[in-house]
């Protein structure tokens, strides 16, 4: 079946502009995650959705970053007033939900490479 | 605070050799430890994972060794192949947190 897809694969923008990054999770996966991966680093957690609500947004670096998942499927990560330091690969992952006592494999998409000039 | 420290940063292994990557964690709330494999231009993919109630888990050529008292765990790749050349990340997750905390990664190159 289809995996997690992310669009666009690459995004180049100018400092100060607004960008939206889209994630289509695996069908049936209720949990969705956003991570940011800077060059030479491991992915860093940004936000986690269970259904439509953001269950944990503790990783969002500041209020320029916002994410939505209005219908519990597709998610959009929104970055306002982009800065050069926002340049990174933004990864989306999804998983089945098993509750607080279990663990589910997080399936990652290929990422969106954001470059802020 | 880097909660998962991974070493080495890069590793070159001869085909057929054993690749060993080490990780140490600080957060005692972690109780799930996956290893992810990432090829260039792709997202990370789960390779193997372990819970701290066992000291070792083996799947094919891949083995995780876990030392709870030392808060360390390692990935061993037996009979390493050129197709194993990728970046490997260890991670930790606490019960109910859903956040994976990753190490910085190890770039493995397996040469023929």
pLDDT value at A98 more than 90: no
Tens of pLDDT, residues A45-91? 999 999 888 889 999 999 999 999 999 899 999 999 999 999 999 99
pLDDT bin (cut points 50, 70, 90) of residue A99 is: low
Tens of pLDDT, residues B53-102? 899 999 999 999 999 999 999 999 999 999 999 999 999 998 777 889 99
B77: β partners: B19, B62
Cβ of residue A66 closer than 8 Å to a chain B Cβ: no
Tens of pLDDT, residues B3-52? 899 999 999 999 999 999 999 999 988 989 999 999 999 999 999 999 98
For residues A98-112, average pLDDT = 78
What pLDDT was estimated at residue A61?
95
| Residue B9 DSSP one-character state | S
* Shortest Cα distance, chain B CAs vs residue A42, angstroms: 4
Cβ of residue A71 closer than 8 Å to a chain B Cβ: no
Sign of CA dihedral B53, B28, B45, A8: positive
In this complex, which of B41, B93, B99 lies closest to A56 when CB atoms are compared?
B99
Cβ of residue A25 closer than 8 Å to a chain B Cβ: no
In this complex, which of A33, A48, A110 lies closest to B42 when CB atoms are compared?
A110
Query: What domains appear along chain A, each with residue ranges and CATH number?
Result: 5-96 (2.60.40.10)
What pLDDT was estimated at residue B31?
87
pLDDT value at A32 more than 90: yes
| Residue B18 DSSP one-character state | -
Q: Answer for the pair A56, A33: CB distance below 8 angstroms, yes or no.
A: no
CATH architecture entry for B4-111: Sandwich (2.60)
Q: Does the distance separating the beta carbons of B102 and A103 come in below 8 Å?
A: no
| Alpha-carbon span A34 to A94, nearest angstrom | 9
* Shortest Cα distance, chain B CAs vs residue A101, angstroms: 6
Residue among B100, B43, B26, B91 at smallest CA distance from A59? B100
DSSP E strands in B15-71: the ranges are 19-25, 30-38, 45-50, 56-59, 62-67
């Amino acid at each position: 079946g289809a995996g997690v897809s992310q669009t666009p694969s690459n995004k180049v923008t100018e400092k100060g502009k607004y960008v939206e990054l889209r994630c289509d999770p695996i069908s049936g996966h209720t949990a969705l995650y956003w991570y940011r991966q800077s060059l030479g680093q491991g992915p860093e957690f940004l936000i986690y959705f269970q259904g439509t609500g953001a269950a944990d947004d503790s990783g969002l670096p500041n209020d320029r970053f916002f994410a939505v998942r209005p219908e519990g499927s597709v998610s959009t990560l929104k970055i306002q007033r982009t800065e050069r330091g926002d340049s990174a690969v933004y990864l989306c992952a999804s998983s089945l939900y098993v509750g607080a006592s279990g663990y589910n494999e997080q399936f990652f998409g290929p990422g969106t490479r954001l470059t802020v000039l | 605070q880097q909660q998962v420290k991974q070493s080495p940063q890069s590793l070159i292994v001869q085909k057929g050799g054993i690749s060993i990557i080490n990780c140490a964690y600080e957060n005692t709330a972690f109780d799930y430890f996956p290893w992810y494999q990432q090829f260039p231009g792709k997202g990370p993919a789960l390779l193997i994972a372990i819970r701290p109630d066992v000291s070792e888990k083996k799947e094919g050529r891949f083995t995780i060794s876990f030392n709870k008292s030392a808060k360390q765990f390692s990935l061993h790749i037996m009979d390493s192949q050129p197709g194993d050349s990728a970046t490997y990340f260890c991670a930790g997750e606490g019960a109910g947190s859903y956040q994976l905390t990753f190490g910085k990664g190890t770039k493995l190159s397996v040469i023929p």
